[in-house]
């Protein structure tokens, strides 16, 4: 009798737990769908059907019986990643909608990362900080044009409904008395060929299009002796008419303004008709402010060879204009999920520890020129302690933007690398790229070879000849018809996204919130990252595998 009663009790408890899990799962899926509806209605309602079908797939993932074969891939659940994203959103909400450096939002992001690591892992946590210069306007900027002798002064305002132009953060100063001729740069100025007909000593006028960064455009402007840059919005939709608040790299040396689509297009039309009769004047008066500290956080395993370290990185800061949940809360959350899952596996008696030390890092100040990762590399170059030297790093895996709403499964690949990549890193880059593609192929998922163009924190590591790899779901990149059709083929009709639309319409904007995240893409990207980290950790001779010569 006692045995039968105990059995019934255990059965009732089991049924209760299963029922409770089902209710929680249903509520979670419903909540996610609700937030997606709000986001997609605000940004692009056409993505709603895609997101809904993705969510149906996701609900299957969440409710499937877990695989009891212990692995890093099966130990990660996308719902845990989403919890981190919601925490980051809450942090931004308490900090005027941003997690940018030198704000409460960024400082609380670092606190959250440290708190989570200390609670969920037994890793060694290292905090470090570095100084960042700051600048501010002494007075409101002035922008004047002259077209065939007609003078026009434009409106500067922080109210985007009234503004004709905005000042770019970290722009240098410019004298309003200087009269400048203007060169129109085609195709967004992303290619060398766009600049070859530029007349030296002129201001470059560039439409916001193409898939290169402001830093890359400025580098080309300097190379071709432009004296400043006027960006202007592309006018693709009603959301792309006003000027945009942008933050440049801290080492920028040119005056830069951002114009509305109308102001920029009017100047283009005037220059194409009468190039010699169009001039502009830029009045930008800036002052230096005291430097402020910005932090990095790293955490590493206590086991594994410290002189053969696998480094997994993501940047922790957003731009001032928004909460940065895709850019780069998605990388922050993925990195946390990887670290926690690995720590839990290491605490079991059946999961073999890797022979290499694993270090996870969250960098500061990526949005102003990957300053945190650059500082870490400079410090490591001068270090003498084993495990802290640059030579101790075998590879840097980087995750920056892995949940774009109109996503690609982008894999960094040597064939898309910029010129000048150190030759000793090429073989390893190819091998790591093959691992990522191997996972996507095994899951019958599409993938895209994405540009290894140095736009994010792997750049200083790659410059030193360290192998890099990673994933990217797209930012300003426009998804082509071919890509959409190929993704439809693998994922199902209508699941491939929107052709001729950017991958992330909220890139560097206030709408980059939790509603901007494609959960299906996030789920696949995090598991691809887990697969590659585990495969690298299991290599018997990773150094020889990456650097055979």
Please check whether residue 151 lies inside any domain of the structure.
yes
Q: Is 197 domain-assigned?
A: yes
pLDDT of 291 reads: 94
**Which strand (E) or helix (H) includes residue 61?**
helix 48-63
372 and 331 share a domain? yes
Q: Give the domain CATH number at 402.
A: 3.40.630.10
- What CATH code is carried by the domain that includes residue 275? 3.50.30.30
Structure tokens at 479: 């998804």
- Are 341 and 234 part of one and the same domain? no
Q: Are residues 179 and 225 in the same domain?
A: yes
Question: Reduced to 3 states, what is the DSSP secondary structure of residue 159?
Answer: coil
C-alpha Rg value of the chain to the nearest Å: 25
Q: Is residue 452 part of a domain?
A: yes
Q: Which of 442, 405, 455, 457 is nearest to 528 (CA)?
A: 442
* Angle CA 408–330–244, to nearest 5: 80
- The DSSP line for 343-405 is HHHHTSSSSPPPSEEEEEEEES-GGGTSHHHHHHHHHHHH--STTSSGGGEEEEEEE-----T
Q: Which of 37, 129, 13, 75 is nearest to 362 (CA)?
A: 129
Cβ neighbours around 92 below 10 Å, total? 29
Q: Is the Cβ–Cβ distance between 430 and 423 less than 8 Å?
A: no
Q: What are phi and psi of 320, to 5 degrees?
A: -65, -20
**Number of neighbours of residue 178 by Cβ within 10 angstroms:** 15
Over residues 448-500, the pLDDT tens digits come to 999 888 889 999 999 999 999 999 999 988 999 999 999 999 999 999 999 99
DSSP string, 440-506: HHHTT---EEEEE-S-STTHHHHHTT-EEEEEE--SSPEEPHHHHHHHHHHH-TT-S--TTEES-TT
In this structure, the answer to whether residues 129 and 148 fall within a common structural domain is no
CA torsion angle for 118, 124, 125, 129 (degrees, to 10)? 170
Q: Assess if residue 81 is contained within a domain.
A: no
Q: 183, exposed or middle or buried, with CB in 10 Å at 0-12, 13-18, 19+?
A: buried
Dist. CA 427–CA 154, nearest whole Å: 53
Same domain, 326 and 461: yes
For residues 265 and 347, state if they share a domain.
no
Name the residues annotated as catalytic.
366
Record the tokens describing residue 508, joined without a space.
């560097």
Domain final position from 254, 284, 314? 284
Name every residue whose Cβ is closer than 8 Å to that of residue 238 and which is 6 or more positions away in sequence: none
Judgement on whether residues 214 and 324 belong to the same structural domain of the protein? no
Strand extents, DSSP E, 58-149 = 124-137, 142-147
Structure tokens at 206: 């560039």
For position 417, what pLDDT does the model report? 53
Residue 340 CA: distances (Å) to CA of 77, 79, 337, 343, 471: 11, 14, 5, 5, 20
Do residue 211 and residue 306 come from a single domain? Answer: no
Residue 61 covered by a domain:
no
Two structure tokens written together for 166? 């905005």
- Assess whether 171 and 188 both reside in one domain: yes
Does residue 513 sit within a domain?
A: yes
- Are residues 229 and 217 in contact, defined by beta-carbon separation less than 8 angstroms? yes
For residue 144, tell me if it sits in a domain: yes
Last residue in a domain, options 284, 312, 345: 284
Give yes or no: residues 155 and 205 share one domain. yes
Q: Are 428 and 317 found together in one domain?
A: yes
Low-confidence stretches of the chain (pLDDT beneath 50): 1-45, 48-68
Q: Which of 240, 260, 284 is the last residue of a domain?
A: 284
- How many domains, the chain? 2
Six token digits for residue 407:
């996503």
pLDDT of residue 416: 56
501: in domain: no
125 with 204, same domain: the answer is no
Structural domain boundaries enclosing 376: 94-133+292-475+508-546
DSSP run (H or E) holding 231: strand 228-232
């Amino acid at each position: 009798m006692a045995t039968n009663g105990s059995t019934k009790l255990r059965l009732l408890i089991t049924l209760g737990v299963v029922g409770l899990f089902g209710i929680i799962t249903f509520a979670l899926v419903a909540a996610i769908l609700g937030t997606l509806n709000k986001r997609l209605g605000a940004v692009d309602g056409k993505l709603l059907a895609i997101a809904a079908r993705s969510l149906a797939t996701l609900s299957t993932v969440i409710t499937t019986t877990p695989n009891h074969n212990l692995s890093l891939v099966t130990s990660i659940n996308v719902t845990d990643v989403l919890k981190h994203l919601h925490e980051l959103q809450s942090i931004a909400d308490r900090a005027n909608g941003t997690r940018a450096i030198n704000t409460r939002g960024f400082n609380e992001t670092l606190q959250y990362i440290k708190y989570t690591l200390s609670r969920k892992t037994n890793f060694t946590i290292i905090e470090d900080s570095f100084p960042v210069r700051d600048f501010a306007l002494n007075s409101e900027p002035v922008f004047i044009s002259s077209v065939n002798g007609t003078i026009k002064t434009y409106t500067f305002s922080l109210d985007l409904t009234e503004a004709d132009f905005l000042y770019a953060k970290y722009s240098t100063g410019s004298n309003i008395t200087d009269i400048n001729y203007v060169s129109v740069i085609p195709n967004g100025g992303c290619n060398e060929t766009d600049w070859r007909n530029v007349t030296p000593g002129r201001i470059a006028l560039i439409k916001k299009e193409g898939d290169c960064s402001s830093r890359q455009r400025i580098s080309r402007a300097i190379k071709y002796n432009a004296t400043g840059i006027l960006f202007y919005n592309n006018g693709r939709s009603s959301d792309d008419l006003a000027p945009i608040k942008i933050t440049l790299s801290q080492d920028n040396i040119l005056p830069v303004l951002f114009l509305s689509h109308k102001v920029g297009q009017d100047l283009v039309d005037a220059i194409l008709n009468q190039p010699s009769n169009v001039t502009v004047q830029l009045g930008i008066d800036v002052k230096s402010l005291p430097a402020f500290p910005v932090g990095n956080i790293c955490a590493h395993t206590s086991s594994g060879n410290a002189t053969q370290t696998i480094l997994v990185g993501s940047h922790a800061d957003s731009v001032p204009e928004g909460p940065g949940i895709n850019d780069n809360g998605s990388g922050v959350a993925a990195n946390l999920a990887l670290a926690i899952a690995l720590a839990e596996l290491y605490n079991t008696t059946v999961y073999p520890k890797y022979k290499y030390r694993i270090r996870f890092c969250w960098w500061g100040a990526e949005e102003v020129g990957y300053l945190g990762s650059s500082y870490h590399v400079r410090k490591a170059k001068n270090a003498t302690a084993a495990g802290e030297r640059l030579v101790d790093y075998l590879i840097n895996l980087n995750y920056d933007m892995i949940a774009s709403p109109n996503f690609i499964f982008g894999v960094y690949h040597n064939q898309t690398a910029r010129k000048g990549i150190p030759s000793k890193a090429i073989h390893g880059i190819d091998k790591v790229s093959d691992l990522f593609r191997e996972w996507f192929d095994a899951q019958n998922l599409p993938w895209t070879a994405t540009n290894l163009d140095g736009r994010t924190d792997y750049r200083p590591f790659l410059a030193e000849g360290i192998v890099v790899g990673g994933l990217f779901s797209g930012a300003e990149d426009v998804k082509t018809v071919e890509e959409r059709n190929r993704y439809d083929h693998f994922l199902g009709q209508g699941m491939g996204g929107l052709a001729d639309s950017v991958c992330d319409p909220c890139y560097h904007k206030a709408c980059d919130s939790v509603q901007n995240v494609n959960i299906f893409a996030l789920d696949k990207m995090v598991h691809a990252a887990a697969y590659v980290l585990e495969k690298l950790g299991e290599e018997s001779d990773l150094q020889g595998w990456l650097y055979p010569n």
